[in-house]
Amino acid sequence: MNARKLFRYLNQEKIVFLLTVLLFVAFSLTLNNFLDGNNILSLIRSVAVLGILGLGMLIVVLGRGIDLSLVATMAISIAWSMQLIHEGMPVYAALTTGLLFALGVALFTGILVAYAEIPPLFATLAMATFVYGFGRAHLIVGTDVVYMPKTMGWIVMLGQGKLFGVPMPIVVAAAMALIVFLFLKFTKVGNFVYAIGDNLAASRIGGIAVRPMLVLQYVLSGGIAFVAGIITATSVEAMNTRIVNSNMIYDVILVVVLGGVGLSGGRGNVRNVIVGTLLIGVLMNGMTIMDIQYTVQNVIKSLILLLAIVVDSIVNPRDEQTGQQGDI
């Protein structure tokens, strides 16, 4: 295989996967206990929530959108649920309320994008600020950290339990990945997501109800955000709404883009998200074992994102069509 063929063979997903394997081998050889089964589980577990959010982002990005309100929706919806439980609402009613809030917010975002035709970047950015501001002002009236009520029952197991020795956050993330994979691959609606992301105008001419489809994508991602919230809140035993101010949403974009999902829509699948998430997991776990401070970790992470974007633009050059649509 000559160099040109090799280059053509390598797409971003393969490059990132190769990078992950290289890092994995390097860490296994240099760090004590890295290869330990429990460490591998804790490695995957620490990025499980990131992976789940990545799935939500994937669905939106495939349809040529982006959802910057994921983290805000996640934090406020579950924090409000737990606050309602503290105030005496039954657990299931409170969780249903939180879920409906997440879905409602996402529905509204979807309508803004699909019907008001506001660019997703701005619509979701505004929604993130709105959800957080509204939530802090009117829903979560006490401290910005809402502690987990002791009465949550079996739901706590989603964050803390184990299934055949595997921590539940990993099991939930894997199940979600499977569901999203099946949805995108085998359902008609899932295929429409790709079609719309690939060519919106042609999809419309082809008879796809483009606007409701766009709304659906945001609603799905809102629901996924709520699931990620439950996992976070039950494993940490608290939901810190300040997380909205952190750079977590960029980490979500990072795992999606890193894995090779094209931000211009229509390209990518669940495997990409898994590969991207694993790279971040291996990287963060290794750096934590090496006792590298998170500020430095952020620098390293962002350099890798930059590298991935550069490689992406070389391997997948912009063509006239994506140029017209405008990249995000």
Partner 1 sequence: MGKTGLMRLAATALAAFTIGATAAYADDDMNDPYRAPALSALAGKKIAYLPISIGFDLAQAWGGVVKTEAERYGMSFSSQDPNWNTDAMAQGMTALIAEHPDVIVTQNPDMQSLARLLKQANAEGIVVVQLNMQGAVQTDAFVGPDFIAMGEQAANMMLAKCGAETQTSHKVAIVQGVLTGGVSYYQVQGMMKVFNEHPEIQIVSSQAADWDASKARAITETALQQHPDLCGVIDVWDGQGIGTGAAIKQAGKQGQVYFITSGGGAQSMCDGLLDGTYSATINYNAPGMGRDAWTAITTALQNNQGAGVIKTQIYSPTRVMTKDDVQAGTCWDPQQYAKILR
Residues that bind partner 1 (CB under 8 A): 32-33, 36, 38-39, 42, 45-46, 49, 136, 141-145, 147, 150, 160, 232, 235-238, 240-243, 245-246, 284-285, 288-289, 291, 293-295
Please tell me the distance from the alpha carbon of residue 61 to that of residue 64, in angstroms, as a whole number.
5
Nearer to partner 1, 44 or 113 (CB): 44
Please tell me the distance from the alpha carbon of residue 231 to that of residue 277, in angstroms, as a whole number.
17
Evaluate whether 32 touches 25 at the Cβ level (below 8 Å): no
Tally of CB atoms within 10 A around 187: 11
| Shortest distance (Å) from residue 133 CB to partner 1 | 9
Evaluate whether 239 touches 233 at the Cβ level (below 8 Å): yes
Nearer to partner 1, 30 or 38 (CB): 38
Please tell me the distance from the alpha carbon of residue 64 to that of residue 281, in angstroms, as a whole number.
26
Buried b (16+ CB within 10 A) or exposed e, 131-153: bbeebbeebbeeebebbbbeebe
In what helix (H) or strand (E) does residue 32 lie, and over which residues does it extend?
A: none
What dihedral do alpha carbons 236, 244, 71, 95 form, nearest 10°? 60
Evaluate whether 211 touches 115 at the Cβ level (below 8 Å): yes
| Shortest distance (Å) from residue 36 CB to partner 1 | 7
Nearer to partner 1, 32 or 324 (CB): 32
Nearer to partner 1, 11 or 160 (CB): 160
| Shortest distance (Å) from residue 103 CB to partner 1 | 24
| Shortest distance (Å) from residue 33 CB to partner 1 | 5
| Shortest distance (Å) from residue 159 CB to partner 1 | 9
Q: Which residues make Cβ contacts (< 8 Å) with residue 320, sequence separation at least 6? A: none
Tally of CB atoms within 10 A around 19: 19
Please tell me the distance from the alpha carbon of residue 299 to that of residue 324, in angstroms, as a whole number.
33
| Shortest distance (Å) from residue 237 CB to partner 1 | 5
Nearer to partner 1, 94 or 214 (CB): 94
| Shortest distance (Å) from residue 241 CB to partner 1 | 8
Nearer to partner 1, 239 or 270 (CB): 239
Q: At what angle do helices 70-86 and 120-134 cross, to 10 degrees?
A: 20
Query: What does R_g of the chain's alpha carbons equal in angstroms?
Result: 20
Tally of CB atoms within 10 A around 163: 11
| Shortest distance (Å) from residue 110 CB to partner 1 | 27
Nearer to partner 1, 293 or 313 (CB): 293
Nearer to partner 1, 145 or 171 (CB): 145
